[in-house]
Structure 1
């Protein structure tokens, strides 16, 4: 996998020189974000753990391009991989191509972020830490890509923009074997931004015990087989709001997700309220944090998080972050990409560096 990804990157980079001769007609750009830090987790699988990772942002490497087709119509593409600096490995993230027009909007096809990922800037997680993802990411607002997706974004009319997507049901998909469909309406004017999204994704492989730390769901007991994976359907409606004032950016998001699983009659509902804010105290120093409350069936999670970023330059920053999750009675806490805690609380603290290019 690593070798194939590296070869693809080298082939793509070899085309940069070809694009230079036709800059007026086409563009090719290499960009990315690298990050790495040292993470201390209290009660990960019943013990404290120290590891190298990167959970403050989503490190990636991307190659994007466009070609003028006449008028305001352009052909576009994007190829990107997640980058794990600690292990030197890559993982597929997005790969799509399409057409973009200032008059007609943008239509893309391939593997790409779903519409719910568009809600991320309206919540506090994106500006603090991937560790602060809502429990189990049931509302998908952390930012997920889906395979076999067609996505449309309209031009902006008076601050309003409409979006829609359709994902084909394909058995070889690693993200969802069922269809995906969704619609989005957003508005931006001055300091105010707002967003409303409805999305339904079927056939998501999901292990409730390890992702949520719950003993049972859908009437199924996972205590004897915590690794049990279900084919889950997630129907989510979410609204988000952001407002900028006096150097502060205030954010809020509410999501309502109806859950079901193949072969099981019982359904469940998850609801999450998320509020957060950040502020640049100076051109170099930023502070931020937030709180989220998630309820699912009889379960509950309270989560708080905070961070400090210090920019050494326009591209390189140092950061310090912390996240604390408290699960309800009869549950065990579990943060993103961590082992289930031995008890109801789990906390994590990380210090590291990011570099954008």
Structure 2
């Protein structure tokens, strides 16, 4: 699926005094709605503590769809000499309830202001990681399945699950096909400059049919600085990375939810994509580590982990455009979690098939199917259960999703 094009009417700045700089504000948005069938969703635990699950059929909006329903405002003011002031305010919402997404934040998807010139742009506020910004188009999540097609529990953030607060981001313009970017997030903790800080670097190259890129991100206290940035996030006594469930609630993000006590996190991603006529083939590899487990100032550690938890992931994807309006995508990913202390390793296989048909430039019908199978021991110290991105985990090692949806841009 092509990334949404911003649509809307430009609005001239209104002032009672003479206007010397041209300015504009654009309203845009996306609505994603569909019906999900999930083969197994955890519903809680039995009296003996065993995981319980049932199949589910539900009307599910973009928060668990491929695009994420949103509306936003983008602004630009010409300051002269090639310099512009820019801003973006973007709200996420649930079309089925009218509620706010991102834990109830008004502009939870993005909120930033900055300056741009012919060399690039520098922005400040709540923003996507520069790594996911630049590498996501090379992944399966950059195609028809979007966010739901991300690797298990979106462990490498190529599905744009994460927003970074208090961040400074620079992204260059293209120099002969090369684009580079950097990001730094201030921790803001008095007397502890390094606590909760985050930094990242990324670069891509595009020339004709070939696109490629690499990125690296380093986060201190990731339970707080990286995963704990939504409105309903808590402090270092709360697990912001996922949930171990309860007698009446299912688990989430089981791949890594048990590693909230990591003092730091490192993520490295590389990818490439090549276009052959109507076909496009891509691949990504990612390496994720949660380092120095057992830091009480980062998050809870009920399993008493220490050392480092390591994930490696590889995925391949292919898209075929039969016409300008109809295309099909297929992808496969393999994820491995190394053993940590007394707890063994885990592996995850995920396959995806999806199709999209554009009724117009702004309205798309789509269908997707995702199947995931897990084995080994996951981060919660249990027999690994399947966990498709944005879904409550399965009560078994298998989970399948079928979704039929409609996406409309405005």
**What is the TM-score when the length of structure 1 is the normalising length?**
0.86
Q: 1:217, CA displacement in angstroms?
A: 5.3
Corresponding residue number in structure 1 for 2:33: 36
SS at match of 2:80: coil
How do 1:191-270 and structure 2 match up within 5 A?
Answer: 191-205=209-223, 206-207=241-242, 209=244, 210-213=251-254, 230=261, 233-260=264-291, 261=293, 262-263=295-296, 265-270=306-311
After TM superposition, give the deviation of residue 171 of structure 1 in Å. 6.2
Instruction: Quickly say closer, same or farther: Cα 1:312–1:253, change in 2 above 3 A.
Output: same
- CA distance in structure 2 between the aligned counterparts of 1:350 and 1:28, rounded to whole angstroms: 35
Go from structure 1 to structure 2 and tell me whether the alpha carbon gap of 1:191 and 1:214 turns closer, same or farther (over 3 Å shift): closer
Give the corresponding residue for 1:178. Answer: 196
Alignment of 1:145-164 (within 5 A): 145-164=163-182
Indicate how the Cα distance of structure 1 residues 94 and 265 shifts in structure 2: closer, same or farther if over 3 A, else same: same
1:231 positional shift = 5.5
Question: How big is each residue's C-alpha offset from its partner over 1:198-244, in whole Å with a ceiling of 9 and x where there is no partner?
Answer: 111222332375344369956xxxxxxxxxx5466320111110111
SS in 1 for 2:93: strand
1:115 to 130, 136, 139: 130
Matches of 1:146 and 1:98 in 2, distance apart? 16
Q: Deviations over 1:245-291 (max 9, x none)?
A: 11112111101111134245311111110110212211221111201
Aligned pair partner of 1:49 in 45, 56, 59: 56
Distance 1:160 1:349, change over 3 A: same
Contact 1:19 1:28 in 2 (8 A): no
**Residue 84 of structure 2 aligns with which residue?**
74
The alignment status of 1:305 with 2:352, answered yes or no, reads: yes
Instruction: For 1:62-141, list aligned pairs within 5 A.
Output: 62-91=72-101, 92-102=108-118, 104-117=119-132, 118-127=134-143, 128-141=145-158
Match of 2:368 in 1: 321
| 1:233 to 1:140, Cα distance in 2 relative to 1, 3 A | farther
Measure, in 1, the Cα distance between the counterparts of 2:352 and 2:362.
24
Structure richer in strand, relative to its length: 1
Is the contact made by 2:28 and 2:73 (CA closer than 8 Å) also made in structure 1?
yes
Between the aligned partners of 1:276 and 1:289, the Cα distance in structure 2 is: 6
Q: Number of residue pairs matched? A: 330
| Structure 1 residue 165: Cα displacement | 0.6
CA RMSD of aligned residues (A): 2.6
Q: How many Å separate the matches in 2 of 1:178 and 1:214?
A: 22
Contact 1:37 1:353 in 2 (8 A): yes
Retained in 2: the 8 A contact 1:212–1:333?
A: no
Do 2:40 and 2:394's aligned partners in 1 also have CA atoms closer than 8 Å?
Answer: yes
CA contact (8 A) 1:207 1:230 kept: no
Q: Secondary structure at the match of 1:328?
A: strand
Scaled by the length of structure 2, what TM-score is found?
0.75
Q: How far apart are 1:116 and its partner, in Å?
A: 2.1
**1:181-202 deviation digits (Å, cap 9, x = unpaired):** 0111111111111111011122
Contact persistence 1:19–1:26 (CA under 8 A): no
C-alpha deviations, 1:314-334, integer Å up to 9, x for none? 111111111100001431111
**Maintained 8 Å contact 1:325/1:345:** yes
